[in-house]
Structure 1
Amino acid sequence: MTDVLIQAGAVGVVVLLYHLGWLVPKPSMDRADREIAYLRQALEDERAARAAERETYRLESAPATAAAIEAAKTTAHLLTDLRKRNQPEARR
């Protein structure tokens, strides 16, 4: 089949290239370019929204995180003091 198209001359070569997908009509390429631009913009919008969501979560959870850290420090201090009181040397 390829031999027949090549023997047909330039028209055969064009038909072969079109059949292989190397030649594409301009309206199809324009439509594909518009779709790619739309998808890139949608991706950028999604990335920006996700970054804003992460920042909001960080700001909302900061007070709770600070409170948890303070509670952990207080607990560590109390446990250290309790250990010192329960050592045999401290009882004498």
Structure 2
Amino acid sequence: MVRTPLTPEERLRGERLGRLLREARGERSMVAVAASAGISAETLRKIETGRAPTPAFFTVAALAGALGLSMDELLGRCAPEPAAVPLIA
């Protein structure tokens, strides 16, 4: 099975998700947060660095729970930024 290449927007969304998770993790170790979410530290590392820009929904939900984030907050902060619309004069 051939995997469809990610769009630039999908890559940016993955980078935003990774940045948000890193910020939410704070001083907690990657290993502790990953264990709490039931995933490997390597999976968390890949998500945080953007190397896994489209993690599974259940992985994101588990991380959100482990970090005390709501899914609404994650969605709001990782959604694509609206494109600038030129004003018609």
Taking structure 1 as the reference length, the TM-score comes to: 0.26
Q: Which has the higher helix share?
A: 1
Highest Rg: 1 or 2? Answer: 1
| Bigger relative contact order (CA 8 A; separation at least 6) | 2
